[in-house]
Amino acid sequence: MIDSHAHLGSCEPPPEALVADARRVGVERILTIGLDAASNREAVRIGREHPEVFVAVGHHPNSAEGFDGEAAALIEELAADEVVRAIGETGLDYYRDRASEEAQVRAFEAQIGIARRRGLPLVVHLRDSAGPGAGRAVADAFELLAGEADGLDVILHCFSATPERAEEAAGRGWHVSFAGNVTYPRSEELREAAALVPDRLLLVETDSPYLAPQPVRGRPNAPANVTHTAEVVAAARGVGYERLDAVVTENAARLFRWSG
Ligand SMILES: [Zn+2]
């Protein structure tokens, strides 16, 4: 089993404990995700110290205001490290207004360029505002990715859009990663989406320390908990846990060049 998206540096327990707990339940590889210069550096450090951990470096849309050439150059430089296997998380977040939409788009486009030059997959965060204008972040991001990310391996992390969008993403060859929110009682639509994604494009993740799955909901999340999410996704797809494990482990190994 794998966790395709965690923020180990933001978790309270040290990475050693998180990795050991994950191993005990069969989670053998973790992609830890940077959000800004400091967390990118920390993620690379954690990746170097733990053979189970690989790294994505990027700049989160919520802090995209002020993202400049220097910030982009640092990501590109870190991306040359052997433990870095993806760029992100980047994307669009219209739920929070800490960064203008223009700044988010600029940072997103810059990271698409880095992923292309480094030959690395792109980890995409999408979050919509509620109420009027709901769906715009997903619509804008899909349009931008369709226009500019051709040929890149795209991963829609913490997929939270409609089943129709999951089908559209799969049609474009983008990977769809499900997080703890797929396990919540009211997430019927997300489980429907999880059933629609073809095997070769499916991933699971924790987004630790956020979004703990139902059995541990309300507590800080940890990579070991990806097993709960995987169980629910397996059930939604009408397959057993072992089958789901094999599918997502193979996909992550291919995308992030994980061996063993
Ligand atoms: Zn994240």
User: What confidence score (pLDDT) does residue 132 get?
Assistant: 81
Whole-number average pLDDT of the chain: 97
- Close Cβ partners of 123 (under 8 Å, ≥ 6 residues apart): 5, 31, 33, 56, 58, 86, 87, 88, 89, 90, 155, 157
Query: What is the C-alpha radius of gyration for the chain, rounded to an integer number of angstroms?
Result: 17
Q: Which secondary-structure segment (H or E) carries 6?
A: strand 2-6
User: What confidence score (pLDDT) does residue 97 get?
Assistant: 83
Q: Is residue 129's pLDDT more than 80? A: yes
CA of 140 to the centre of ligand 1 (A): 19
2-256: which CATH number, 1.10.287.470, 3.30.70.260, 2.30.30.40, 3.20.20.140? 3.20.20.140
Q: In the sheet where 154-156 sits, what is the strand order?
A: 2-6, 29-33, 53-57, 84-93, 122-127, 154-156, 175-178, 202-204
Average pLDDT, integer, range 33-61 = 97
**Which string of DSSP letters, residue by residue, matches 9-74?**
GGSSS-HHHHHHHHHHTT--EEEEE--SHHHHHHHHHHHHH-TTEEEEE---GGG-TT--HHHHHH
CA of 102 to the centre of ligand 1 (A): 21
Average pLDDT, integer, range 86-100 = 94
Query: Within a 10 A sphere around the Cβ of 25, how many other Cβ atoms?
Result: 13
CA of 6 to the centre of ligand 1 (A): 6
- Could you give the 3-state DSSP secondary structure of residue 248? helix
CA of 110 to the centre of ligand 1 (A): 19
Q: Is residue 260's pLDDT more than 70? A: no
Q: Is residue 49's pLDDT more than 80? A: yes
Cβ atoms of 62 and 94 within 8 Å: the answer is no
Backbone phi, psi, residue 39, to 5°:
-70, -30
Query: pTM value?
Result: 0.97
CA of 30 to the centre of ligand 1 (A): 13
How far is 130 from 203, CA to CA, in rounded Å? 26
- Close Cβ partners of 204 (under 8 Å, ≥ 6 residues apart): 1, 2, 3, 4, 177, 178, 179, 226, 229, 230, 233, 244, 248
Average pLDDT, integer, range 87-107 = 94
Query: Within a 10 A sphere around the Cβ of 56, how many other Cβ atoms?
Result: 31
User: What confidence score (pLDDT) does residue 202 get?
Assistant: 98
Confidence grade of residue 156 (pLDDT, cut at 50, 70, 90): very high
Cβ atoms of 118 and 145 within 8 Å: the answer is no
CA of 182 to the centre of ligand 1 (A): 15
User: What confidence score (pLDDT) does residue 233 get?
Assistant: 98
- Beta partners for residue 92, in sequence order: 126
**Which string of DSSP letters, residue by residue, matches 101-144?**
HHHHHHHHHHHHHHHHHHT--EEEEEEPPSSTTTTHHHHHHHHH
Instruction: Please indicate whether residue 161 or residue 131 has the higher confidence score (pLDDT).
Output: 161
CA of 60 to the centre of ligand 1 (A): 8
Q: Look at phi and psi of residue 211 and say left if phi exceeds 0, alpha if psi is from -120 to 50, else beta.
A: left
CA of 246 to the centre of ligand 1 (A): 23
The tokens for 47 are: 């990746």
User: What confidence score (pLDDT) does residue 133 get?
Assistant: 81
CA of 5 to the centre of ligand 1 (A): 6
Q: Is residue 259's pLDDT more than 80? A: no
Angle at 30 between CA 11 and CA 107, to 5 degrees: 75
What does the domain layout of the chain look like in residue ranges? Answer: 2-256
Of the listed ranges 6-20, 128-142, 144-158, 183-197, the least confidently predicted one is 128-142
